[in-house]
Amino acid sequence: MSAAASCQACGCVSREALPGLLRCPACGLAWRAEKFFAAPAYVPGREELVYGSSKKKLFAAALDSLGAGAGRPGRLLDIGCAGGELLAAAAARGWSAEGVEIEPGLAARAAGAGFKVHAAPVENAGLPPGAFDAVTVFEVFSQMDAPAAAAAECARLLKPGGLLYLREFNASFHLPLYRLELRGFFKPLGARPSVIHNFNFTPSALRALLLRAGFGEVSIRNSRPTSGDPYGSGGGLGTFFTAALKVLYYVLAQALWLATLGRVYAGSALIVTARKPD
């Protein structure tokens, strides 16, 4: 098999899992055979929901966690910073925040808000080693070309003892939904609940990715959902019922996690924290 069929998380060789998707039999990482890199395009009004208001509570929780882990605000890098929404929340708490964003329109918006923005993939941005106390990555590894290189660069950019805070979609949730979508299960509702990107991470794949990059103290938990229905994925269910179902499902996923003593992560997204060894 070609090198392109090697798993970016653990290095094992893949096998075909679903049409257009390869999957690692060891850690469960799934990825597109042909990757997709077009800039996201949302209907008018959705961009603010996707990047801003729907994630406001998630950003606050991330900064709470980083503040508790670091002891005090320091220098923070947000990879995939979009229009600077997380940067603004971090700056309001005393962090010196800057971002990485390769989509020109979003990068210009973040820069226009007064933040330093690096308009290149993080591994090519030329940033100095050990420059940051914290790195945040919200649903970006899944859309990259080389997440293994990006994870290694995150470790290089952090100071010893520095913190990584990552939110990523959970393939253990989305791949079964994708199978149902392929069979037309959600077609009557016009719903599209699965999220399939270039890379689709299971908890095991995220742990393997970060350990290989040199991180320690890797901790994984189910993420709370975004507020409302920012992507309009609920179709005929509408925003209210979609949001209510998301919260109910999160509660059930947490109950399953507790019942299995932390062995089963059924949430639609995951929060991962890790620390660069001293």
pLDDT (tens digit per residue) in 245-268: 999 999 999 999 999 999 999 999
Instruction: Please determine, for residue 7, whether its predicted confidence score (pLDDT) is greater than 90.
Output: yes
pTM of this structure: 0.91
Q: Is residue 11 part of a domain?
A: no
Element (H, E) at 122: none
Q: Is residue 22 part of a domain?
A: no
Alpha-carbon gap, residue 65 to 212, rounded angstroms: 23
Could you tell me the residue range of the domain that residue 202 belongs to? 47-275
Q: Is residue 20 part of a domain?
A: no
* pLDDT score of 2: 40
Alpha-carbon gap, residue 212 to 151, rounded angstroms: 9
Alpha-carbon gap, residue 96 to 77, rounded angstroms: 9
Alpha-carbon gap, residue 190 to 101, rounded angstroms: 32
Q: Is residue 25 part of a domain?
A: no
State the maximum Cα–Cα separation within the chain, in Å, rounded to a whole number: 54
Q: What is the CA radius of gyration of the chain?
A: 18
pLDDT (tens digit per residue) in 202-248: 999 999 999 999 999 999 999 999 987 777 767 666 677 888 899 99
Torsion angle of the four alpha carbons 179, 183, 189, 193, in this order, in degrees rounded to the nearest 10: 10
Number of domains in the chain: 1
Q: Is residue 112 part of a domain?
A: yes
Residues β-bridged to residue 116: 98
* pLDDT score of 120: 95
- The whole-number average pLDDT for the span 43-52 is 74
Q: Is residue 29 part of a domain?
A: no
Q: Is residue 7 part of a domain?
A: no
CATH number at residue 241: 3.40.50.150
